[in-house]
Amino acid sequence: MAATGCGGGAGGGPGADQGAPGHGGAGFPVRVADCQGATTTFSTAPRKIVTSNAAALEMLLRLGAGDRVIGTGFPPGKGTLPGGLDAGARKVPVLSKSVIPKEKLLGSGADLYIDSFAAMKIMGKAGDAPTAEEFKAAGIKHLYLASTACAPMADKPQRDLSGVEGDIKRLGAVTGTAERADALVAGMRAKVGKVRRAVGDIPAGKRPTYFFFDYDAGTKQPVAVCHKQVANAVIGQAGARNVFEGCDGDFKPVSWEDVVAKNPDWIQLGVRNRGDAKANAEAFDEAAAFLKSFPATKGLAAVRKEKFLRIGSERTTVAGVGTADAVEEIAHTIHPERFKAAR
């Protein structure tokens, strides 16, 4: 298996190579490259896994490898994962509500750490991340979610979901659940393919402009999603145009004057999942109320006409199966006539 690295279209990065069947079972050994190209070999599937955050945990749960997760950081809130995944997530010990402290991670007994934060040496004042030597001494292999961890250092924008698909396939290869990974990716491609057939012929200049408003990042200074963030791919695949696609990197603080100058046709109220439908609805209402009352934004046409999309942040900016769902929902909202015609 050859997996895409460093996000969609950003070649030369992380990948997984399923070698010939070895003593670890069919599909092993598996070789995985990190963001800088250093390779780690898995001769057998890991049995004790620690995940850096809810995104990595959700992928393992969907792959059927959740029973091997012995701890996580940034845990999903109760009720934030769909269906039966929530019950599985509740069984996973929480090693930290933010970044797992270095000492706790190294002493966890894990044989694999799945990391979404390669570019971030310090997060939440939890201390420096372990070095490669420290991981090796603790017997922990280190695997990155390339579509998020490697995105800031990629040499090309993310314009499709191949980076997310690569992460899922990579985890499937490493955990011995490749068939399940293929099925998950096939489901994503089917959804995105239907959208592409409906809206893919719309020229870039005629696509509605789109602003992802990260409400939970704070309202004093907005944070834009730039062209290396997976949200840029989600927006583009849905037939819209990210108003900040010109900025380099994954995220960038901007000003409200910048947002007003872009005058977006649509605004996504990017709210993180609160754990239940009522709390989510209240958070979306708060985000909309802010835009309608804030002097800089209340005059925007999108705000006056309430051209808002109430889609959770995680499904748009975090790698996972949910990114395909976000593509579908955005497209159906901003191009309803295209899908009526398809029916």
* Interval 276-286: pLDDT, tens: 889 999 999 99
Amino acid at position 339, single letter: F
> Which is more confidently placed, 120 or 107?
107
The helix/strand/coil state of 44 is coil
**Nearby residues of 235 by Cβ (< 8 Å), 6 or more positions away:** 210, 212, 225, 241, 242, 316, 330
- In the predicted structure, residue 120 carries a pLDDT above the cut 80: no
pLDDT at 3 over 60: no
Predicted confidence at residue 229, as pLDDT, reads: 95
Q: Give tens-digit pLDDT for 18-46.
A: 443 334 566 899 999 888 788 999 999 99
Sheet holding 16-18, edge to edge: 16-18, 30-33, 39-42
- What single letter denotes the amino acid at residue 208? P
CB-based contact 200:51 (threshold 8 Å):
no
* Longest Cα–Cα distance in the chain: 65
Distance CA 131, CA 128 (A): 9
Joined tokens for residue 37: 């190209």
C-alpha–C-alpha distance, residues 253 and 110, integer Å: 36
pLDDT of amino acid 221: 96
pLDDT for the residue numbered 36: 79
First to last CA, the chain: 36
Q: Is 124 left (phi over 0), alpha (psi -120 to 50) or beta?
A: left
Q: pTM surpassing 0.85?
A: yes
Q: For the ranges 104-113, 116-125, 276-285, 295-304, which has the lowest average pLDDT?
A: 116-125
**Predicted confidence band at 122 (pLDDT cuts at 50, 70, 90)?**
very low
Query: How far is 275 from 60, CA to CA, in rounded Å?
Result: 20
Q: Is 301's pLDDT higher than 50? A: yes
Task: Please tell me the predicted confidence (pLDDT) of residue 23.
Answer: 40
Cis amide prior to 29 (ω within 30 degrees): yes
- The answer for residues whose C-beta is within 8 angstroms of residue 35's C-beta and 6 or more apart is 6, 13, 14, 118, 119, 144, 146, 149, 150, 153
Query: Comparing C-alpha atoms, which of 151, 178, 153, 221 is closest to residue 26?
Result: 178
Closest-CA residue to 152 (of 233, 250, 225): 250
Does residue 8 have a pLDDT over 60? no
Contact 192, 161 (CB under 8 A): yes
Give the class (CATH, top level) of 186-338: alpha beta
CA-to-CA distance for 245 and 156, rounded, in angstroms?
Answer: 12
Residue with tokens 């976000």: 326
- CATH level 3 topology of 30-156: Rossmann fold (3.40.50)
- Please state which of the ranges 29-33, 188-192, 292-296 shows the lowest mean pLDDT: 29-33
In the chain, what percentage of residues exceed pLDDT 90? 77
pLDDT > 60? residue 9: no
Domain ranges of the chain: 30-156, 186-338
- The secondary element (H helix, E strand) that includes residue 131 is none
Residue 156 to residues 151, 199, 209, 248, Cα–Cα distance (Å):
9, 23, 21, 9
* Other Cβ atoms within 10 Å of 272 Cβ, number: 18
> What is the per-residue pLDDT for 198?
96
Helix (H), strand (E) at residue 306: none
pLDDT one-digit tens code per residue, 213-234? 999 999 999 999 999 999 999 9
Domains 30-156 and 186-338 are alike in CATH topology: yes
Over range 281-297, report the average pLDDT: 98
Q: Kindly tell me the burial class for residue 341, based on how many C-beta atoms sit within 10 Å of its own C-beta (0-12, 13-18, 19 or more).
A: exposed
Mean pLDDT, the chain, rounded, equals 89
- What is the predicted pLDDT for the residue at 341? 57
